[in-house]
Structures are given as C-alpha cells and as structure tokens.
Structure 1
C-alpha cells in the first residue's frame, strides 16, 4: 500500500499530512510567513517524511490531475503562476513590495514547487471544484473560484466522513460543507457523493477573514482598478485591524466595525447554505471545517440559523490527525486515492481523475484574452490534455 503526502498551503500555516496504508503517519505544520522567508523548511519537511509514492502539491485554483514531472522546467514558473495561482509574477512582486501576506504565500508556493521539481519529487497537482465534470457547465460561466483545490480536498474527506458516520455508500451521501479558513470561506454542495456546486471565497456574498468575497461591479468601477492583492487584503481581518480571527471575534460585542463584519460574514454563510438546498435535496448533515469554525461563537451561530435544515457539526477529520488542518488531510486522501490506496474508490467516485482543464477556462469575457494573465493563459493552455471552453467560445464568436 502507498506512502503519500498531502500539502495544504494555508493562509496561516502550510500543513503536511502523511498517510501510510491509509493511516495518518506524519504531521507537520509550518507558519506560512516563516515558510515564505525560508521555503527550504517545507522542502526539508517533505524529505523528513521519506520516500513517497505520491505527493499532492499545493494546487491553488486547481488544474486537471497533472504530474509535476509532466510540466517542463522551462515553463514551470509561468505555468504555476498562471494556472495554480491565477496571477502573474509581476502582480506578486507588487504585493511583496507592499508587504501583502497573500503575496508572500504565493511567492513561497512557487519557490517550494520549483525546488521539489529540482529534487525529482513524485508530485501531482489536483483539481479544484470548477474542474469537476459533475458540475454542469452553465454554473461555471465567468466563474473562477467555486472552491479552490483545498476546498475540493476537504469536501472529498467530508464525503468519506459522512459515509462512515452514517453507514452510507458514497453514492448515497448528500450533505453541505462549510469551510472557514484563515483566508477564505467556501460552501460546497454534495449530492449522491458528487460535488455538484460550490461557492468559493471570492464568490461568497459576504467577507471572510482575509477576502472581501463577491464585490458589486459598480464598486470595482468606482475604485477604478483592482489587482490580485485586493483579493486577500479586504476581508474582516484587514478591515478591522485584527491580526487573527480569534482577535477579531473577541471584539465583536464591543467594536461596531468588528460586529458589522461578523454579521456580514455569518449571514453570507447562511444564505449560501440555503442556496444549496435545491441542488443537494435532503442534506443529512452540514459539516464545518477550518480555523474559524473552531470558535464556539461561530458554531453556536450556525447551529441556531441552520439547525432546522440539518444537523450542524464540526468535522472530525481522519483518526490519528492531531496537528494538521482538515484540508491537508483531504490532500493526503486524494494522493492516496490517486496512488491506488484505500481511498481509491472514493477518489474515483468523486471524479477527480476525470476533472478537466483549469479554473480560468470559463472566463468568457472577451477582454480577459488581452490581459496580462489572459495572454499567458492562451500561450500555455495548449500544454493541457483537455480543450479550453473559453478559447473555443471565442473562436465561434470570431474573437481575435
């Protein structure tokens, strides 16, 4: 049976979860800012785990299952920034000069991946929610973030947990997953053990801790211009001057700004969960995961507002996992399944291997093609196995 490793590059910590024969056998958590200053720490942690049959690499916005060995070194940096980070090197460098936390995370992810490539690690990039064939195309138009790769990973873990807890085959699992991380929130809909819809952090109607969520186009027009750094610097933390979610939530009853942001975030989650009910049908549970979900104030609020729909609880995660986040455990579960381990049936059922393309494939706005990111996208998209939905769309419309 395989030895595999899952790596989740969270906004607060980079977590590594190792599975040996499907059991947790390795855990390591490294502060993200420390890792951005010294990416070698993460590489050393991978080597500490030892020989791995497969490592599920930080996959950001997600791509079809792609082996690290299949991405030529000559294009790796551009490929990674374009498809995994959905940005350009120039935008990240601007963020680094501004001291943006998100930019340091992106910079670290790129450096770690290049070094793992150099060392010949058997790595694989995994999909995000939008890449799955179980989601109809019409739900994807002009969408990028329906749930990043870590949100997909934790939902796959959630399918396994609900199946185990209720004695259900994967094909009978209907539930809603609410992930509340240090940076982003997401709500994922699961029907018959398949992910059928998702609202990721930048599409949520309200803010998360680092990101603002969905933004009125009139606001974007009024501001004049937005860049990648706005994605992870306009949430409740930055807006209230709070360094951690715990600090922010502790101020909710005293600080009006903190209170308004809390109400906005919680109501956003509740509304989004309700919007998933027609898609899921009868949900057997609503699972909560992520750092923010550990706060009892948050759990009590969601139990009160959502308890009539289905039981609400924090997910347990894999037995034996005591340090790393549920998202890292999900990455490891997918790695195990792709390597033919005990989670092979689960990963096959969810359709991870059949996922296609990139998260940028459904941006049909014609001006995307001429942006800096769009130019890189069009130039590099041909290296993937599948066709690009938007490029074919533009071709049919005669967009040059």
Structure 2
C-alpha cells in the first residue's frame, strides 16, 4: 500500500511517500507559501491511498474533507499572517485530496494520557511527535521488543523546539511540548509568568524566538562547545521530567536535526545509551506508517496500540476558565 506522510517543521517541511514501510520518494520544502502547488503535484504523481498530516496540535482522526474552517484553526492556532503557510497547505489538501487526507491527534488528545496531566496545557507534543513515536514503536519491534514491553522517552530536538514524550508499555502517557518545556535552539520554551505579565503583546511568531539562537547569534551547526553543554543539560532535565510518568526508563529514543549534528557529543556528555531514529525525516516516515494503519494496512497494529482512533476532545479542554476568558481570539 502506498501512503504519504507530511511533516511541517520550523526550518523546512517534508512530504514522504512510502510503500508498506519502504520509503519510495520524498521532497523537502523550505517555504510552504510558495510551494503549495508543488506539494499537491508531488502527491498526485504518486497516487497514495492515504495521507497522514502531522500538523501542529492535531485533531481526533478525521478526513480533511470533513472539517470546517473553525476546526482547521485549532490545528495550528495560527492567526498571524507571517506563519499562515501551514493553513494554506491544509486548505489545498482539503480541496484537492481531502477524502484521503487524515488529521493526526496530538499528545493531549490521546485517551492514554491521564486527564490531570492535561491541566492548563495545549502543547504536550504536537501531532508530528506522535508520528515519531509510531516510527519508534516499529523500529524497536524490529529489534525484537514487543509493543507492550516498550518503555522509553522520545526526545525530538529540532531547529525550532525540543519535545519529550513518555511512552509506557508502548503507549503515550505524557508529554512536554516545545512551547511548554525547556529552551531549545530557536524557542524560549515555557516562560516565567512574571515575564509574561510584563509583555505588552505576544504574537504567535514569538514562539519561534527567545531560544539559544537569539543569545548565541549563530546557526545550529555553529554552536560552541560550552553552549552545547548548556543545551544538553536542558535535554537531560526534560528526560528526567518524563521519567516521573513512566518510572526509570530503560530506553531513550532521539531524533531531529540537533541530534543529526550532535548525537555523539550528547552521548559522550551524558553517558546515556540512546537509540537514534535513522530516517530522512522521522516524523514524516512515522506519518506514512500511521496513514498505512488508518487505511487497514500492515501497520494497523501501530494505530490500534497507540489508540489513535480513540482520541477525542479539543486542545482547549482542561484550561482554567479564568485563563480562557482572557484569550485574545474567539476560539
């Protein structure tokens, strides 16, 4: 079965084509706004039977053709013009390939995550992180570890954000998203509420700022050794936070651009035994796996074990009323 997976990243985006887990083709896109037609053409040329969309905060599994504009807004929570490229892609997919394109839930929407862990959270791990977990389940199973025996923390450190997902018995039970966790290369992560109280405004594009890049004034492949140690410390803190939810984890799974560059240095510094997801783009490959499973293919067991079809609710659930009434947008 030929399927497609789409991952929208901070630095670039990937559209991947896979046949029952074997990568056939892929393209990287740097500016979504300028390449929407190219993406649609690429997908049509390969005629996938299902497309999984790892966009933002996700939704319970639905065909894009079933969704109205208000619901689509919840995928990205994007209202600022500079970052509307994702919205344009979603609208194009809904128009041209909506019957075979599926939304993927984010961590917060999964029934395997206890409700109390969702309090006042939106970003517990975006839907592309769920896709990366799907790939990790498959890779570890190929190593002889059954889903029910898989206990790990997935660390995805990219150009923009660092996310940490806790997996217990092969199910996602907790997550620390890029905007709710520790500083990363581009993003500040969670902000001190006293800093927030001093801000006169906080446009959505600011979630991509305030990280080490702003302080170091360098690119991700130019990080000096001392600053690398600072970043490693924050990654270790994220892992330790997730261990509270699963007990002492026996496996750390890593992926993302940061680890493509600094995996050996991280292992040397921390002494951790890590399993690196070797992939052109882990989340896009994981999305192909999920698309296959949603369409009844060989990876249906992955979709079932992660309980993706049981995802429900909204990313705005479990947010205190006193906070919601201060939202600047009517959502």
Q: What interval of TM-score do these two structures reach, taking the shorter chain for normalisation?
A: over 0.9
Report the counterpart of residue 397 of structure 1 in structure 2. none
Aligned-pair CA distance for 1:370: 5.0
| Contact kept in structure 1, 2:29 and 2:35, CA below 8 Å | no
Structure 2 residue 205 is matched with structure 1 residue 229: yes
- Aligned residue pairs total 330
After TM superposition, the structure 1 = structure 2 runs for residues 1-400 of structure 1, keeping only pairs within 5 Å, are 2-31=1-30, 33=31, 35-50=32-47, 52-71=48-67, 75-76=68-69, 78-81=70-73, 83-88=74-79, 92-93=80-81, 96=82, 103=83, 107-121=84-98, 122-165=100-143, 167-205=144-182, 207-242=183-218, 244-247=219-222, 249=223, 252-253=224-225, 259-260=226-227, 262-296=228-262, 298-307=263-272, 311-317=273-279, 324-369=280-325, 371-373=327-329, 375-376=330-331
- SS, match of residue 66 in structure 1: coil
- SS, match of residue 284 in structure 1: coil
- SS, match of residue 27 in structure 1: strand
| Contact kept in structure 1, 2:20 and 2:289, CA below 8 Å | no
| Contact kept in structure 2, 1:175 and 1:189, CA below 8 Å | yes
Aligned-pair CA distance for 1:180: 0.6
Instruction: Name the CA distance, whole Å, in 2 between partners of 1:364 and 1:222.
Output: 21
User: CA 1:306/1:130 → structure 2, altered by over 3 Å: closer, same or farther?
Assistant: farther
* Deviation sequence 1:229-274 (CA, Å, 0-9, x none): 21112222233333x3113x1xx14xxxxx45x4443211101212
Report the counterpart of residue 391 of structure 1 in structure 2. none
Aligned-pair CA distance for 1:69: 1.5
Instruction: Name the CA distance, whole Å, in 2 between partners of 1:132 and 1:284.
Output: 23
| Contact kept in structure 1, 2:184 and 2:231, CA below 8 Å | yes
User: CA 1:143/1:302 → structure 2, altered by over 3 Å: closer, same or farther?
Assistant: farther
* Deviation sequence 1:332-377 (CA, Å, 0-9, x none): 111111111111011101111111123222222434245243x22x
Aligned-pair CA distance for 1:303: 4.5
- SS, match of residue 353 in structure 1: helix
Instruction: Name the CA distance, whole Å, in 1 between partners of 2:114 and 2:4.
Output: 31
| Unpaired segments ≥5 residues, structure 2 | none
| Contact kept in structure 1, 2:147 and 2:169, CA below 8 Å | yes
Report the counterpart of residue 384 of structure 1 in structure 2. none
Aligned-pair CA distance for 1:276: 2.2
TM-score when scaled to structure 2? 0.93
Give the stretch that moved more between structures: 274-283 or 191-200.
274-283
* Deviation sequence 1:279-331 (CA, Å, 0-9, x none): 223433211100110123x5423443252xxx2132234xxxxxx31111011
Report the counterpart of residue 99 of structure 1 in structure 2. none
Instruction: Name the CA distance, whole Å, in 2 between partners of 1:303 and 1:279.
Output: 26
| Contact kept in structure 1, 2:54 and 2:284, CA below 8 Å | no
